[in-house]
Structure 1
Amino acid sequence: MKKFLFLLLFSPILFAQEGMFSKDPIINKENWNKQRVHWGYYLGFNSLDFKFDYLSVTQDIEVQSTTGFNVGLIGNLRLTEYLDFRFEPGLFITQRNLIYPNITDPVNRLREVKSTYIFFPFLLKYSALRTGNVRPYLVGGISTALNLGSNAEAPDDNYNNRFRMTKWSNFYEVGFGIDLYFEYFVFSPSIRGVFSMKDELIRDNNPASPWTGNVQEMKTRGFFVNFTFH
């Protein structure tokens, strides 16, 4: 996975090496960062899991992550030469499989948690000094997300094979990326970690439920890899 991420993030740099890292590169889109407002879009993938805290010592619930898909829009407001405010609404599709070690029945032992989030992130982007056609940056902030697959309003619970989560969640995000300036566009690969700030689990109606009874908190965590075009 580490090698895969390295290739995804840095292969554009390697392909553009001749033009970007030569001694006297041609400066592309020289005044692009002076815009007060600009727009863009992103595509990418995600890998999310859950962090569980328990009421009493027990075997951990096993979380199997899968690779999901991201797509969204970007609105960027220039605040200073090095600082920007960004709004990046997007659609994030993912799945996590939960395996309960204390349950022997194969059907009830597994819960497939399919989630479709609409994220509303409010972020600050701090950019380093531009060198030729390359400019690294850090990004961080908070977001709120609507989980369209939460089952929050369903009366059925795990006893009817229905896993329930809260409809709305809050997150904080931190990450880094690189702006690469080409002749006609700016390409920005980035990696971002995302961490939930609240418990997302809706308990089963039975307080002694083997799926939710011993869970103190369940929070989403994971990372996004985005490929942004401006």
Structure 2
Amino acid sequence: MKRLLIAIAILVCTQDMSAQLFSKEKVQNLQNFDKPRFSWGYILGFNSYDFNFDYTSDFEDEDVIVDQTVGFTVGLLGNMRINDYLDLRLEPVVIFTRRDLTFNNPLFTSEFESFREVKSTYVHVPLLLKISAKRLNNFKPFIVGGISTSINLSSNQDNPDDNSIGEFRMKTSTNYFEVGFGIDFYLYYFKFTPSIRGVFAMSDELVRDNDPNSPYTATIDKMSTRGIFINFTFQ
């Protein structure tokens, strides 16, 4: 009899926990959080930037090898509610990242000639449309997409020196398109949103060397950034 009572108690507790987690009758945190027209938040995250290289038609082998590193992102969120399922978001952030380039050219005999460390600090401003599903208990999945622009404070665009003396140069301003997804979690005191997003540059970012026959840039037709953001938003 005692064992039967324990089994019944465990069954009742399990059913109650399942109802709390998955039932639509669960008490919702921050029930009116999404009602205001405007809301604000903070963004912390990680990024991994890469370069996509297109080469001239008469050059088929990979000329530049890119090693990615993990960077850091910090910024703000401004959200304008359109309706229960659509939001317009402005997310100005500062991005710190690094890419290591190895130029695969038989003419280079030293690391000084073949290796370039490209450190970048971006002021990155995306304008995004967030499309959300219906809220279920205390979470709500969404997809997001839009366009963005950035200023690379470390671009070296106006530097008269080029790769011949070790200076890799990029254009300062770049435009991108972005697409991603995430989940809003409504906690007791605030809304927490992890998300992942792909970022793709729409233009050529390479500043060519002064020598048109440069072994670094002569074979490159286009160089454009692509990257992944993992962001954590607090509202």
Q: TM-score, normalised by structure 2?
A: 0.88
The match for 2:149 among 137, 140, 144 is 144
- Write the distance in 2 (CA, Å) between the matches of 1:195 and 1:62: 18
State yes or no: 1:165 paired with 2:161. Answer: no
| Equivalent position of 2:49 in the other structure | 48
The match for 2:100 among 97, 102, 120 is 97
Alpha-carbon displacement from aligned partner over 1:28-78 (angstroms, at most 9, x marks no partner): 011111110000011000001000000122431100000000000000001
Counting only pairs closer than 5 Å after superposition, residues 176-215 of structure 1 correspond to structure 2 as 176-215=181-220
Q: Percent identity?
A: 51
| Equivalent position of 2:21 in the other structure | 21
State yes or no: 1:65 paired with 2:68. Answer: yes
Q: Cα distance, 1:20 vs. partner?
A: 6.8
Runs of 4+ in structure 1 off by over 6 angstroms are 17-20
| Equivalent position of 2:77 in the other structure | 74
Q: Structure 2, unaligned stretches of length 5 or more?
A: 1-16
- Write the distance in 1 (CA, Å) between the matches of 2:217 and 2:85: 46
Alpha-carbon RMSD across the aligned residues, in angstroms, is: 1.5
State yes or no: 1:87 paired with 2:98. Answer: no
What is the DSSP-based 3-state SS (H/G/I as helix, E as strand, rest coil) of the residue aligned with 1:107? helix
CA contact (8 A) 1:19 1:26 kept: no
What is the DSSP-based 3-state SS (H/G/I as helix, E as strand, rest coil) of the residue aligned with 1:132? coil
- Write the distance in 1 (CA, Å) between the matches of 2:153 and 2:193: 28
Larger Rg: 2
- Write the distance in 2 (CA, Å) between the matches of 1:155 and 1:173: 33
Structure 1 residues 208, 186: CA separation in 2 closer, same or farther (over 3 Å shift)?
same
Aligned length: 214
Report the AA paired with residue 21 of structure 1. Answer: L
Q: Cα distance, 1:22 vs. partner?
A: 4.5
